[in-house]
Structure 1
Amino acid sequence: MGYAPPPYGYPDPFSNASYGPPGFVAPQYHFPGTYPAPPSADKSGIPGVNVQNHFGGIGLPPGYNYLFPTSHCLVHVFVTGSTPPWQANSPLYTHDAVNHRKFFIPASMTVKEMMQQLGCSNEDADKNVMTEVQEVGNGKWTKGMVFKGGNKDRMKMTLKDLGWDTGRRRTGLPGQGPLIWVYITGD
């Protein structure tokens, strides 16, 4: 009694019919050295992740191109729930992608726009708070600047005004400034 050849892959020349169907070598990914992109981020309570066009759809309108701003910021946002990173009982490491999300944000964006795009949308502006967080080592963090939605002067500042743009070498690479880490809350 023979077995039908596998629908894909290559039959194993050393298979033994008495041990079940013949084995096969699975086909390899066709582009050595590269891998498929990870799945796209869903909204997850962060309204600014996807562009909503004026037709009500997601993405750019058909036939339009987008001109990107020339200066950007690399911002990491903690998603530690109601516990701020500087009060966390267990270490929060920078390489652990579970505790934060990464964003590439235009430096021309105001603090208020950034907070709204990240989900700080409480009607009481003073409850919308963004705190800059700085790593002190070994997964421990300390508080930096605090931005409250009720402070109109600070809300008008752009990220470039804060010195968060990549022109000031805030890339986290050796010999350059540290990355920007923030914790947001709208409670």
Structure 2
Amino acid sequence: MSGGWNPSFGWDHSRANVPPQMSAPNGAYLELFGAQLPFPIQTPGFSIPQNGFMHPLPVFPGQAPRFPNPRPAIDPEYPATYMSNSTGGIGCEPGYNLFHPPEYTKVHIIKSRTAPWQNPPGMALSFGAFHIPTSVTLSDILKGFGANNGNPKKNRITEVTQGHNGRWYKGVTISGDDRDQVSKTLKQMGWDRNRTGRAGEKPVIWLWITKD
């Protein structure tokens, strides 16, 4: 005779006096639910899975495995904001952590087809705000912000300064063909961790990056 024996219900195969059991979606065993239902089981409804049921990859609203997804759309103006790993995916691979350098600076990248200093005073400009490691070179900045023209001379970084009268003033411009300059780090340019923009401290860095 196969099967085990239980002092309350007898032999397993006989199922004598065994209480009724109901399977549950994504339940590892009978009568094991992903969450406690706040209403009778016979009533259709959905309950948010609680922490009592642990799935290797919990996905809301169900606990089913994840399906393959395409790569996320990468903004061509800010490709450096996406980390591509060795598997072709985005972000750290499972089990890996990201190492952060010790020093960052604040950089605002202006998005404008017209040179900021040529715009009317007080004109609002779109920009992206970034924390960038001070050890990054200007060459990396050009690549990371989409300045990838085949003619390096057309890839330019221009520092601009905001005046109190609503105008923008042109500062230093560095072209991609200037190897000595583009090999410098942000810290060597004076764009270090002290550029915080806080009261009594140095202003943040404003850059206008072009490729044509």
Common fold, TM-score beyond 0.5? Answer: yes
The alignment's C-alpha RMSD in Å is 2.0
Equivalent pairs, count: 142
CA deviations on 1:22-47 (whole Å, 9 max, x unpaired) are xxxxxxxxxxxxxxxxxxx9625321
**Which residue of 64, 75, 85 maps to 1:43?**
75
- What does the per-residue CA deviation read over 1:118-161, in whole Å, with 9 as the maximum and x for residues that have no partner? 11100100000110000112321101111100100001100010
Match of 1:76 among 74, 88, 108: 108
Residue 171 of structure 1 corresponds to which residue in structure 2?
196
Alignment of 1:44-63 (within 5 A): 44-63=76-95
In structure 1, the gaps of 5 or more residues are: 1-40
Whole-angstrom CA distance in 1 between matches of 2:74 and 2:86: 20
Question: Does residue 1:186 correspond to 2:187, yes or no?
Answer: no
Structure 1 residue 67, shift from structure 2 partner: 1.2
Bigger relative contact order, structure 1 or 2 (CA pairs below 8 A, ≥6 apart): 1
1: CA distance, partners of 2:121 / 2:199 = 26
Structure 1 residue 90, shift from structure 2 partner:
5.0
Unaligned runs of 5+ in 2: 1-72
Give the match for residue 107 of structure 1: 134
Whole-Å separation in 1 of the counterparts to 2:195 and 2:75: 26
Q: In structure 2, the residue corresponding to 1:137 is in which secondary structure? A: coil
Q: Percent identity?
A: 38
**Matched-pair contact (CA < 8 Å) for 2:158–2:172:** yes
**Runs of 4+ residues deviating >6 angstroms:** none
TM-score normalised per structure 1: 0.71
* TM-score normalised by length of structure 2: 0.63
Matched to 1:63, the amino acid is: G
